[in-house]
Amino acid sequence: MFLRQSTKTSIVLGPFVDDADGKTAETGLTVGSIDVDLYKFSNTVPQAITTAITPNDGSDSDTGNDNDMDHIANGYYSLELSTGNTDTCGPLKITANISGALPVWADFHVLEEAIYDALFAASATGELLVDVAKISGDSTAADNMELMFDGTGYAGGTTKLSVNTTQIEGSDATDQINAACDASIVTYGLDHLVSASVAGADVTDNSIVAKLVSKESTADWDDFVNTTDSLQAQRDYTGSGYTAIPWNAAWDAEVQSECTDALTAYWTTAMSESYANLTPTTEPSPVEMLYMIFSCVSSFSISGATITSKQLNNSTAMTWTIDSATVPTSRTRAT
């Protein structure tokens, strides 16, 4: 909150609450138990200036007197500050302590009268006042802001700072700004984007635009041919140029070569030995099927009504049960 320098004013302190439960409002403070301190932080004195004040008796009969402190409501109190309490510009801290109540404090900032009035007075415009004489400290000096501009130039010295109020406020300013902008657009070739034709020299080699249209080591805009490279040309070619393309011998040879390479790579790579499960039954993979066929036609043994095929390391791969040990007519996979 802002306060006006050297001005009697009323501020609000609180809420004062009971120090036992921290919530019950203290509404009947007495003078003897109140201690109020003011800490003035002067702009010229780095440390705080502490001033202790003793509020009046708090009765309604002295309301409005300097340092009078009266209960308002719900533990909030009004405190009348004197002109001496607010005589120092800068931060102002007020603390209040009372036996049985928690400490209360409030922070303020004291402003010079002119600044406070410019911001908060009834006729305030919200604009801070400027004393042009204080620019140089001399109201008649040539570098005084009041004398600096006379409509034709700077009043002091040999260097003139030309000011033309018509150019600043009138239509001339708009015309000059527009002309300057137009000239800059032409200088950097931005007009070629929409309103001017483009020649080869208009786009610098290796610029971003040139690299978008040219694949050369030194990107050149002239590589772009709009009749074949434009978006419209590509769209039209997509509709007709990529359809009904005849197959030719060169493509046939290339496809066969790629297929041969793929098959060679697959069939010359060792396959991990694997056999399909019997329980639970799973569909065998090509590798499993090949190894199961291999085990059936390679090493196997017959013992009674059991046929056993071998793995590559001669261990058991699969077993079958035949319906007769002497004259079999069928077999069933057992493992």
According to the model, what pLDDT value does residue 122 have? 83
According to the model, what pLDDT value does residue 330 have? 95
Alpha helices in the chain (DSSP H): 113-120, 145-148, 165-169, 171-187, 208-213, 226-229, 231-240, 249-267, 286-297
The CA distance from 90 to 284, in Å, is 90
According to the model, what pLDDT value does residue 324 have? 93
According to the model, what pLDDT value does residue 159 have? 46
The CA distance from 163 to 76, in Å, is 58
Give the pLDDT means over successive 10-residue stretches in the chain (335 positions): 93 94 89 72 66 61 69 90 90 87 94 90 66 56 54 46 50 81 88 82 88 92 89 80 73 90 88 89 89 91 94 94 93 92
- The verdict on pTM exceeding 0.85 is no
Residue bearing tokens 């306060």: 3
According to the model, what pLDDT value does residue 201 have? 77
Question: In order of start, what are the domains of the chain with their CATH numbers?
Answer: 2-116 (2.60.40), 286-333 (no CATH)
According to the model, what pLDDT value does residue 144 have? 56
82 φ/ψ angles, rounded to the nearest 5 degrees: -85, 170
Q: Which amino acid, 38?
A: L
In b/e form, how buried is each residue of 254-283, taking b as 16+ CB within 10 angstroms?
A: eeeeeeeeeeeeeeeeeeeeebbeeeeeee
Q: Is 243 strand, coil or helix?
A: coil
Contacts of 58 (CB under 8 A, 6+ apart): 29, 30, 31, 68, 69, 70, 71
